[in-house]
Amino acid sequence: MLFAGGSQLNAQDNAPGDTSLSGNQAKPIQKAAPQNLNDQYDVGDLFNDVLHPKRAKDTLRKRSAITVVPNIAANPTIGFQLGIKAVAGKVLGSKPNTYMSVAATSASITTKKIIYFYISHNVFTPGNKWNFQGSLVAARSVTPDFGLGMRHTSSNDEADKILANTDRKAYVWNSQFYRFFEKVYREVRHNLFLGAGLGFDIRRQVSNVRKDSALTPYQVYNRRFGFDDDHYLSNGFLFNVQYNTRDNPNRAYRGIYLDAGFRVNQTWLGSSRNALQFTYDFRKYLSLSTRTPEHVIALWTWGSAVLAGEIPLFELPGGGRDPSFRSGRGYVSGYYKGTRYLYTEAEYRFPITRNKLFSGVTFVNMQSANNEAGTKLLEVWKPAAGLGLRVLFNKATRTNLCLDYAWGANGSKGFFLNLNETF
């Protein structure tokens, strides 16, 4: 009912401890016996065995918390990507009273001529007193435009039909894209944080790649809501609440993650239009085995709604528009989007080999969006499903290389390759 009423959601990625709250005192909940990392085998162990086969295994050697890998990725939106990526994870305080802090940076280029650089962080100070979340993105972007909603419209207005794009023709736009956000959270009770910050999304030199002679959904939307075709800014304040009990930010076995909040875009901050947007992100992880905690059921729902004002079309919530750009496996990013959007996914994760080098996943997801031509949120749903292989890259931080293949509706499908779990 919250979604149907028109609320909007956004989330961030964090890590939690495994405790419960009783009054004002945190008491440890019953956990599986600690796992011996020496019983696990990752890519670092493999390289060591190949390059130094006669070297005795040092069971006391501390594994580096930094993983540097070629940034090879693929999905229907970007094509094939090649670059370099570094991810890091470290607990900055005492365990279990401090969550793991994570950071990542990457530079890459793709076969669709996308050039992308980003640096991100999610840092918890000792005792989880403060949490800092932020990201900086600079890109030469190629953005597909599929219109609004779920390929349905009951309107006879020609502009509404173009905006709904029922044939799902792909219009393509080039642009320079810059994003910056920083949020600061303060823990107010155990695992509960309040935060505020700023977010800037800037798109410049927007141009139609194919120089379509007919009006496109992007152009119809801009004329209807007062945006320029060649540039826009979406700048505003961020106000969030976060509840976090995950045991690891990269690959949780158990716990809950919730982040919900408002974005308030203001023209006096440089935003093209004023807007009020609500966003939430909820994730639940259930380990099915004490002995083998890698057997996990993971549940995710993400949603967003524009409550007032206007958001640029390419910044509206939709598949692949979550903070980590991982939602909507089975479809091109932004294939379905709207001023109100809801996404939900369930995934089963399981080990394949005893040494945990290889594991697998199966997943299903559903998404729904409204449009400005008569289709309401939850009126139409589009499903997707898939399976994937996981390769353990860094056992100290639970970093996996993830290879997924997914099938969506209407013949949509694709291969998705990333570092770390989808959620």
Lowest-pLDDT choice from 31-45, 170-184, 315-329: 31-45
pLDDT at res. 348? 98
Q: Which residue has the higher pLDDT, 334 or 198?
A: 198
Tell which phi-psi region holds residue 162, choosing left (phi > 0), alpha (psi between -120 and 50) or beta: alpha
pLDDT at res. 74? 65
Mean pLDDT of all residues belonging to the chain:
85
Structure tokens that stand for 348 in this block = 């089963």
Residue 134 pLDDT > 80? yes
- Structural domains of the chain in order of their starting residue, each with its CATH number: 2-55+70-419 (2.40.160.50)
Residue 375 pLDDT > 70? yes
pLDDT at res. 364? 98
pLDDT at res. 168? 85
Q: Model confidence over 19-56: pLDDT tens digits?
A: 333 333 344 444 444 566 778 888 777 877 777 776 66
Lowest-pLDDT choice from 86-90, 181-185, 387-391: 86-90
The Cα 356–Cα 184 span in angstroms is: 36
- Based on DSSP, count helices (H) and strands (E) in the chain, helices before strands: 4, 19
Output the pTM of the full model: 0.84
Q: Model confidence over 98-112: pLDDT tens digits?
A: 998 999 898 999 888
pLDDT at res. 16? 34
Confidence of residue 13 (pLDDT cuts 50, 70, 90): very low
The Cβ of residue 103 has, within 10 Å, a number of other Cβ atoms equal to 17
Residue 59 pLDDT > 70? no
